[in-house]
Structure 1
């Protein structure tokens, strides 16, 4: 039956080519533009002068460039190592022991995964700075020197990025295959030796996946250096790319070279992970595998204490600091009744407030990105799971690469592509307009939606769609009447996730926002850079709460509407059955 989809003139094949075209325009073309610009720096400005390969090696001669590369590698490597260790330890504790606060650990992991890094970084800055919460409220002046150094920044990033490893290892430990460990112990292995030689090697795919995701997300992170810029100088590749475009003179060569190294490092990490995984067989689930049940112990309170202390540090300090500062008139005056104010929140109610305008603009952009990204994600999932399209591997690779490519690199590529004079004649000169923000946000939402759609579609039998196709149902009819109803929960989750992440995308909006047009993350970050901490934190708390409320209300409305629709259908069927019985009796 799948041979039906191999014909290049069928609707699924045309859908596959449409997906390729969309991914090429939105993701691959901007990425290629950044790389091409390194060797042909004038190609996007009407010149074809070949610059040679010498510029690639100048990163080791120019101090800022080399410092940015060194800082990024050190921060990403340290965070990947510590984040994987921390995430693995927490995952083992979560799956092996039963304690009351383990669901709070799950919530914190997902919250840290969704919350933008610049908001978490701002909370840590407010807590750790010289006039911050730690020094003024608790008298811990040593926190400033501890945090504002490379090791301290690695610690902060570890607390923000560990969920990648935690979720990956938790999923790997879902099944209990203790027979391997028991066999090792029967042959004389100690508990530590069995852990080191049996259990940990079986978790290599999860450990590598978590470590790779932490490394890639950290090295491309824009939020931390952007938040630190006001109080601590720590240039990284992503932030130096941004400054090269927004300082005089504009340095496209610097942006191109740093982007090249950033993408090259990410590709090397992905290839290394793939090489390790292909060298061995890591399948270990057999017919004896059962779902793992946490062990009930009398000392579970110890795990609750450890977990609670960790949650206070990981989530309580940054969010609590932001909440506390939002009610303080002056940060340096400490916590007192005289320093308490509602002023920062009342400023937000001003109809002309930059935050209010930024929130409105960001919601509109994120709504478009969420809806269109979801549609494209469904199409990608359909092509990858239910067709034999010839270039499925390329589509899968592009969707994964786009998930790893930092927003600053994608933003630069959009400048090169959509800032061409010839586009004005066909009304497609999008640079300097809100439309380019929508396109870039869609590009950022597509890989998130696609990954969620692929995982959902793998659970749906191909035979359902094949049977409908044999009966003459069109592609659109099969998707609308079979696929989408079976995926309604995943569709809602993917759409809301794409919407939420698009609203707080600081990197892309900082690079591409047009003149006299502001977005929420840019407005918050600008207030933070101006040292208006109270207003920035009040805006963060208010907008974050409002956006979560909107998402939850929309989720409830959709689920409620679907439930009412199912009840109406059941009620109508009941009436039909009753009418049929009456007719038979007559």
Structure 2
């Protein structure tokens, strides 16, 4: 009974933490719409007609339309592009193919606002494209809805690429061979056999692209400097930083943003239920890319040109602009000198971001480890609920989570018990933990699946208590996964623009806020230099920590 009691206590503890960090702020956004002012001492039964105001107020309606347009357009194009590249990459190998794999991961881990800033600096009216190549037409092409869909597509296609590429890991050739023996052309075979079998992967990739696109705050925040294209996340942010503060607007727009994501998840569940194919059998073989009989050079050249656009423009523009004088006529190191001046805010912002990310990474690692344990080994009755809640934070945009934290932690009565966290760095820590939990949990769950439960049972039979089993068996066996999960959470927290832009306390700058504010003030060179230095230092810290861990982990025993 004692082991079961310990597991149940852990389950209830984990559930309580997830409710506090994730579900309660999300519920607060919905409650604010139904009961306006309830979180500020003014209980009024809501008029649901406020939800219909989105169709009568121009800015609200434009934000909703733009988010839907950007989300649907990017979902279609990014899914098609990602699926096509994944299919090509799984079938053929060619020179520079590894660069495509590396670039996909680079695009995933690079914050969207940095990629968007690179495109702005390249394609703006007086950007690098005009200065270096004389391309005056590019500004008109990019800064319109179709152009923004193109930019977002080149940033989000890796989500569909990885999803489809993973589904292509195994193949069953008898289906294809049977179709070809019956006279089917290669196109007919792909359309009638392979594509339907991969339909669930396409749906999963499309849902990831849609959720990440409609909840993206970085692109509209960067584009706003040169082109007015309000979206739901950016308008929510604007509602909190106008005078007077528009909590009604933020609440309603957050409701519709959550509704869009919920609808996407429902559509995916419906499609997956109607298109389930269990086709792997003992005759399945692992897919191996082969060198094509001809066209290998063409694939390599095409890949280089493609990567030159998707990586070279956003990343290269940041690097080049950081060395370009404000006049654009010469190269200079002035922007880097400004970063290290005595009155530079970069050091302060970078230090704050590191402190928040480090604390959030440690707390998130502890919570994520316990969540993973409950999901993997316990018989807790509500572990399915815990799994769903841990994924909700991955789907809910940072701006929605941020406004929910304002509603919850900006209560006067919390001051009397010392928990008025709004306006303090601790609210950034909590929000960062909430965002890190799903990533940490997925990494650790995958590693825990390889550790047999019998090891824990054997230790239990030898009298080891719950904490003893965790610290002496699971932690040593999962050291690599724990470090990877912690570093992933750390890196993501440092560059979380959405949460820090909404929740950062007065006179408490963070690295992404410093970069974004410099960009909004059209200090492109300074913003680029801050991005390069900040990103480089974060990568260096992660590399050092990982190397120290590996060296310690692999060191031979003194015995």
TM over 0.5: yes
Contact 2:352–2:509, Cα closer than 8 Å, also in 1: yes
The one of 355, 380, 396 equivalent to 1:389 is: 380
- C-alpha deviation, 1:279, in angstroms: 2.4
* Cα distance in 2, alignment partners of residues 47 and 82 from structure 1: 46
Give 5+ residue unaligned stretches, structure 2.
none
Corresponding residue of 1:410: 401
Residue 311 of structure 1: aligned partner: 307
Other-structure match for 2:316: 320
CA distance in 2, matches of 1:427, 1:415: 16
Once the two structures are TM-superposed, the CA of residue 280 in structure 1 deviates from its matched residue by: 3.8
- Residue number in structure 1 paired with 2:389: 398
Q: Distance in 2 between matches of 1:476 and 1:173?
A: 41
Q: 1:366 aligns with which of 335, 353, 357?
A: 357
TM-score normalized by the length of structure 1: 0.93
For 2:372 and 2:273, locate their aligned partners in 1 and report how far apart those are by CA, in whole Å.
Answer: 24
Give the Å deviation of 1:493: 1.4
| Structure 1, unaligned runs of 5 or more | 573-586
* Alignment correspondent of 2:107: 112
Q: Distance in 2 between matches of 1:201 and 1:461?
A: 36
CA distance in 1 between partners of 2:142 and 2:64 (Å)? 21
* Alignment equivalent of 1:125, drawn from 115, 120, 145: 120
Partner of 1:37: 32
Q: Conserved in 1, the CA contact under 8 Å of 2:398 and 2:498?
A: yes
TM-superposition CA deviations, 1:125-165 (whole Å, max 9, x none): 00000000111110111100000000100000011111111
CA distance in 1, matches of 2:342, 2:539: 21
**Equivalent in the alignment of 2:257:** 262
Aligned to 1:233: 228
Number of the residue aligned with 2:528: 537
**Alpha-carbon deviation of 1:363?**
0.4
Aligned to 1:561: 552
Q: Which residue of 2 is the match for residue 88 of structure 1?
A: 83
SS, match of residue 45 in structure 2: coil
Give secondary structure in 2 for the equivalent of 1:333. Answer: coil
Across the aligned residues of Structure 1 and Structure 2, the Cα RMSD in angstroms comes to 1.3
Q: 1:453 to 1:481 in 2, by over 3 A?
A: same
Please report the TM-score for the alignment, with normalisation by the length of structure 2: 0.98
Cα displacement (A) at 1:415 = 0.6
Find out whether 1:475 has 2:466 as its counterpart. Answer: yes
Q: Does 2:539 match 1:548? A: yes
Write the deviation string for residues 448-505 of structure 1: whole angstroms up to 9, x where unpaired. 1111112222222222222222332222222222222222222121111110010000
Partner of 2:218: 223
Q: Aligned partners of 2:54, 2:378: CA distance in 1, in Å?
A: 45
Displacement of 1:387 in angstroms is: 1.2
Counterpart in the other structure of 1:457: 448
Paired residue secondary structure (2:141) = helix
Length, aligned pairs only = 558
Q: Once the two structures are superposed, what CA deviation does each residue of 1:293-315 show, in whole Å capped at 9, x if it has no partner? A: 11123432221111111111001
**1:4 Cα deviation (Å)?**
8.5
Q: Secondary structure at the match of 1:306?
A: helix
- How far apart in 1 are the matches of 2:172 and 2:363? 42
Shift of 1:444: 0.9
Q: SS of 2:325's equivalent?
A: coil
SS of the residue aligned with 2:113? helix
Q: Distance in 2 between matches of 1:105 and 1:29?
A: 41
Cα distance in 2 for residues equivalent to 1:165 and 1:4: 45
Q: Determine if contact 2:325/2:331 at 8 Å carries over to the other structure.
A: yes
Asked whether 1:380 is paired with 2:374, we answer no
Residue aligned with 2:133, SS: coil
Which residue of structure 2 aligns with residue 490 of structure 1?
A: 481
**Structure 2: how far apart are the matches of 1:100 and 1:469?**
53
Retained in 1: the 8 A contact 2:7–2:379? Answer: no
2:208 corresponds in structure 1 to 213
Whether the 8 Å CA contact 2:258–2:396 is kept in 1: the answer is yes
The aligned residue for residue 584 of structure 1 is none
Q: Name the stretch that deviates more: 12-21 or 296-305.
A: 296-305
